[in-house]
Amino acid sequence: MIVSKAKLKKFQEFNITTKDRYKNRIIGKGSVGGKAKGLFFAKELLDEHWVNGEVKIVVPESYFVSTEVFDDFIETNNLASVIREAESGKATQETVEKAFLEGDFHSRWKQEFRKLLSKIHYPLAIRSSSVLEDSIKYAFAGKYLTTYVANKGSLDQRLAALEEAIKRVYASTYGPNAVIYRKKHRLKGEKMAIIIQKLMGKERNGCFYPELAGVGYSRNYRRWTERIKTEDSVIRLVFGLGTRCTERGYARIFSLTNPLLRPEGNNNWEIAKYSQESVDAIDMETGKVVSFNINKKLSILKNHRLFRDYVQLYSVLQDQIKGITLLPSKLNRGEKVIFSFTPFDKKYKKFFQLIRRLFQLLEKEMGIAVDIEFTYEPEDDVFGLIQARPLSSWEHYRKIPWPQNVLPQNILLKGDRMLTHGYVENIPYMVYVDHDKYYATANKHEVARAIGEINNRLSDTPFVLVGPGRWGSSNPHLGIPVNYSEISNCKVLIELGIKKQNFVPELSYGTHFFADLELEKVLYMPVFDTIETNIINFEWFNSTPFKKTRHPAIRIYKGPFHVYLDGHEVKGIVLKA
């Protein structure tokens, strides 16, 4: 899309603290941060332009803790030295968090928190909203913490839980990922504000969660087929808390103009593989986020009258996905319940129409592509807009100088799914994780730490990073559990899908992990050994000399290498020179 500079300026200059209608919702003076600005700019637009149809849009009730409270907390608890050590890399995340948790708020702020809690009695999401966050250029996606408070018990108990949650978000300001991100972009002057937001959802069997949650992008810069256009928009949808959307968990991906087109295709095994089974919710007894596999807690679906619209049964023995008429009390051998959302697109056309209308309004008035986080209660037809912010991305695809007359033996990797657009030539190194040795490694987190060391050593040298499964996976059996700080310097990231060892990358667009790649302009491509049109040149990797590293699973090959990824044609190759 063409950016509207006038509209963009209007958004950038929007200031909640000058709006009388929000003043009684702000604790302290100073900024309420970028995330708050994006959400309430969207609320202003909805109040002015939106007429709710059959699906109602709700912006959850929110209160704000300004940067003045953050500054006072740092000063009162003498945390400057801890912060200096964190920013120099000498203090661990655990050390920083311990120091912040041991701190205390001034009695003035405690009184304000107590006053607020005396009038709100619903579960809360405690969200970061720093002064640098959600800007046009720097989203800080996933760098800062979101915590949850069940908000149950006595007022003193609820106050203690709220204060602890805020402190944890404050401490995340100085986590290694955030520190390295700011250093890489030479960003200074960071301060943290807080959004205390009503958690959308309902309590069901002692757990609190929205029935459905998701993230959405008004532009799809990672198409999985030429039949989808960039302007078609894309969403990721899950059952339960939206943490399964923003992290690298499985979710249903819909292109809004053609919801039937799945990234994984129409193969039942592939659909079942990429369908959500794990669910996140708030345990109302402990106030903590809990995760469970729906197949071990099928009874929870009794609380959802419309569960058949997104829950199906997969039979491994028959390789068949079936609709569920009655909720099974017991699963047969080789059966499992999955959230494949198979009939959802047909039954909820108004839901998709609403999101398209919302994107059109936000793009028009913000002057730029946008991304949102949302919840949806199908039984009530209530859509909760949790977050709205600019989508930082390339405005136009540049032409890729696609190489001609390439010898087959020079193609190291070739893919044609969900890749980014761009090219890099004469890359001096390739860091490669051997899937067999990684699979056999007992302590897979050690592989991630070794990758981090190489990433630091090659900080001034471009390199291609290649490995099995999902980079950044929270489950080391599905991929290498690196964090942002351990791969922050690579220029190209390749994920290898190796079926026999269950290293199958998720074709996801919308996670915080991919938001990092987008903003850093790191080229990305998945390559699968199950797709005939894809190539993994194992012969080259196994016969070419390489430099050994401290971990036997990691190899470093010397280039130069050339990478060409064409987002228009949805094709990409990695070549040896």
pLDDT tens-digit map of 522-546: 898 999 998 899 999 999 999 999 9
Q: DSSP 3-state assignment of 418?
A: coil
Tokens of 167: 């402190």
Sign of the Cα torsion 202, 204, 208, 209 reads negative
Tokens of 305: 């009258």
Give every strand in the sheet of 207-209, ordered side by side. Answer: 202-204, 207-209, 278-283, 289-293
Fold of the CATH domain 5-49+60-199: Dna Ligase; domain 1 (3.30.1490)
* Sequence-ordered list of residues with C-beta below 8 angstroms from that of 571, at least 6 positions apart, any chain: 414, 415, 416, 419, 565
Tokens of 232: 């078609």
Q: Which residues of 94-130 are buried (b: 16+ CB within 10 A; e: fewer)?
A: eebbebbeebebeeebeebbeebbeeeeebbbbbbbb
* Sequence-ordered list of residues with C-beta below 8 angstroms from that of 490, at least 6 positions apart, any chain: 431, 455, 463, 464, 465, 522
> Can you tell me the distance from the alpha carbon of 138 to that of 35, in angstroms, rounded to the nearest whole number?
12
| Identity of the amino acid at 39 | L
> Can you tell me the distance from the alpha carbon of 515 to that of 179, in angstroms, rounded to the nearest whole number?
17
Instruction: Express each pLDDT in 426-438 by its tens digit.
Output: 999 999 999 999 9
Q: Which residues pair with 383 in a beta bridge?
A: 57, 376
Could you tell me the residue ranges of all domains in the chain?
Answer: 5-49+60-199, 207-212+241-344, 408-576
Per-residue pLDDT of the chain (577 residues; tens, 9 = 90+): 555 677 777 777 777 777 778 888 999 998 998 888 888 889 989 988 887 666 789 999 999 999 999 999 999 999 999 999 999 888 888 999 999 999 999 999 999 999 999 999 999 999 999 988 766 666 666 678 899 999 999 999 999 999 999 999 999 999 888 888 888 878 888 999 999 999 999 999 899 999 999 999 898 877 777 788 888 898 999 999 998 887 667 889 999 988 888 877 788 988 888 899 999 999 998 889 999 999 999 999 999 999 999 999 999 999 999 999 888 888 889 999 999 998 899 999 999 999 999 999 999 988 888 889 999 999 999 999 999 988 765 444 568 889 998 999 999 999 988 888 889 999 999 999 999 999 999 999 999 999 999 999 998 899 999 999 888 887 888 889 988 788 888 999 999 988 888 776 665 554 556 666 666 778 989 999 988 999 999 999 999 999 999 999 999 999 899 999 988 788 999 999 8
> Can you tell me the distance from the alpha carbon of 242 to that of 215, in angstroms, rounded to the nearest whole number?
8
Q: Residues 33, 67: contact at Cβ < 8 Å?
A: yes
Residue 560: asked if its preceding bond is cis (omega within 30°), the reply is yes
